[in-house]
Structure 1
Amino acid sequence: MSFIGYLRPLVQGRASDEPAQRRAFASLALGFTTSAVAFYGAVHLVGATTLGSRPGTVAQLVAVGVLAVCLIIDTGIFGLRTPMLRRQTPQQYFYRYGAARGALLWGLDTGLVVTTFRVTSLTWASLTVTLLGLVPWWAGIAYAAGFVLPSAVFVLVVPRSSDPENAPEPVWLMDRIRDWEPWVRRSAPVLLGLTAGALLLSV
């Protein structure tokens, strides 16, 4: 199911109950951010406990190696795919617990970083540098912002359809997001390469 499809329970009926819709989105953002920060924080704590709190040259070289592997996977040259749990967060949260509580649970689930499909290996790269102490424990805030801010634009800013029964979603936005996916896939190896290069230069 598409990114937009999962946000559908938050955007339908917006015109008739906008305050409730905003509360539901706030719950989603809170849940997602809480889980993301907690997960990245836990990964950072595990790394600091087992590897030490001050990363050195070895940690940087290990990170370069992992980033190189992620880069190779994302190029697809060997037919490899990003390791992932092939699962979608249950949309039934919204229907079983209501908009606000369902959105909170959905956010808490999805914000756990590795519980759903991955488009690229960037997630694993970011978790690696967090584990090795090369980024701060609150790196999950950046991860959360990458989801919450685009979601806020879609849910709170993009106008609703004039025919909500037959066209509840802005089709142009769905098409645009689909068009972006290949670009995201192609840009991931570039980002991984640049990050690995920067780490090598700083050794």
Structure 2
Amino acid sequence: MIGTSSNRQPLDWTSRLSIAATIADALAYMHDELQYDRIPHGNLKSSNILLNKNMEPSISEYGLMLDQGQDQKGGILANGALQEAQEDYKAIFKVDSYAFGVVLLELLTGRMVLTEGLDLATWVVAVVREEWTVEVFDKDLMQECINEERMVRLLRIAIKCVAKPPEARPSMRQVALAIGAMREEDERSLDVSDLSVTRSFAGL
């Protein structure tokens, strides 16, 4: 799982947001480049996202599911299933939108894809529907005392990505732009915070 591991400290908010933004940018780029070839990742999951020592992510196994499933009827799709999506390239790429949404939920909740016998996406949507949104977030993030509104914004993006109808999911380009804007806001707020601290010391 990306959010935590046995040999790493839990990731802070800035790191998780940066990882999400980088993955979204990479997928959006690949989708743009391969849209006419209709080649999605097809099997995106946290175990296919590798972090280097600087906690920068790289995506592995892009397009391998296409080779494995090319002789079967239907197109690639979500949660390991094959569906009748081959004729609609937009639906094919929305497979990755769904899978990315699940990765986002892992980053936000600190939970595995299956928890207590429930699918993570199903569990999160059910909790949010009951208006217990705060309950879904990783306790490490809550203890960090970050802006809760930002976490909710990222959660809403994730929930849109895991919508059941493929046509209801945003494209990875839309997702990348939304998360990129959040990262820029986050960086600006950090800069302002650092400037305030510098001024406070200067006034001593």
TM-score normalised to structure 2 length: 0.35
From the two aligned structures, give the one with the greater helix fraction: 1
Higher RCO structure (Cα 8 Å, ≥6 apart): 1
Q: Which has the higher strand share?
A: 2
Could you tell me the TM-score, scaled by structure 1's length? 0.35
